[in-house]
Amino acid sequence: MLIAIPDVLDAAGVARVRGLIDGAGWIDGNASSGHQSALAKKNEQLPEDSATAREAGNLVLDALSANALFVAAALPLKVYPPLFNRYAGGDAFGAHVDSAIRIRRSSDFRVRSDLSATLFLADPDDYDGGELVIEGSFGERRIKRPAGHMVLYPASSVHRVEPVTRGTRVASFFWVQSMVRDDGARRILFELDQAVQDIAAQIGANDPAAVRLTGTYHNLLRRWAEA
């Protein structure tokens, strides 16, 4: 399931994050790469243990916790602390699959990467190229979203970032361990959740039919969730 989530950060939120990270000390993006990714990756990244990355990441996490669409789609159990990268001057990231387990360095914090997320922090007019290309059961999707918008997709998908030929592409990226491991089950729950909300808006949340559908959603979540 691939879901575009608009306005995770508003313009002021994007400005706050960019104000923190733009002047920070960037390093080779392969600092966080596995073997396969290191062969395909050319970009820059903020050190994940830097104070700047932690402060900017906390702004992203606060925004995610308040975003109902993200919570409904991801059903998050754990979120890897957001990282930040930028691409310029031909930088790109070739086709790869994200590692199944992400371990935060010098800690026992680890996440099973059920979902990958990219939160765009530069507007499409600010750079040429840099499309996020994702392959999956939905076909091949080429994604380039406004600053503050995010895309959420299965971490098992083959994906790449096309070369940036003008300007600078800046983004936050991270992984989510969902309470519901199976992508197909998450899709059913998400679609049911959206239907329940539509019906409740039409006939009222206290209508018996809406109550029964809400109960069905929670019973399925109870059956499938690992918490």
Task: Judge whether 130 and 144 are in contact, CB under 8 Å.
Answer: yes
Nearest one of 175, 141, 177 to 158, comparing CA atoms: 141
Distance in angstroms (rounded) separating the CA atoms of residues 3 and 85: 21
Is the separation of the CB atoms in 138 and 2 below 8 Å?
A: yes
Domain with CATH 4.10.860 in the chain: 183-224
pLDDT-derived band at 39, boundaries 50, 70, 90: low
Residue 51 has pLDDT above 70, yes or no: yes
* The amino acid at 166: R
Rounded Cα distance, 218 and 13, in Å: 33
Q: Inform me whether the pLDDT recorded for 64 exceeds 60.
A: yes
- Domain(s) labelled CATH 2.60.120.620 in the chain stretch across 3-178
Query: How crowded is the C-beta side of 172, counted as CA atoms within 13 Å?
Result: 35
102-139 pLDDT, tens digit each: 998 888 899 999 999 999 999 999 999 999 999 988 88
Please name the helix (run of DSSP H) or strand (run of DSSP E) that holds residue 186, with its range, or none. Answer: helix 183-203
Question: Which residues have a Cβ under 8 Å from the Cβ of 17 and sit 6 or more positions away?
Answer: 9, 56, 59, 60, 121, 172
Give the pTM. Answer: 0.93
Asked: is 183-224 a CATH 4.10.860 domain? The reply is yes
Check the CA dihedral 134-136-84-50 and report its sign. negative
Cβ within 8 Å of residue 192, ≥6 positions away: 213, 216, 217, 220
Return the bridge partners of 133, or none: 142, 160
CATH pick for 3-178 out of 2.40.50.180, 3.40.50.300, 2.60.120.620, 1.10.10.1110: 2.60.120.620
CA–CA distance, 142 with 109 (Å, rounded to integer): 32
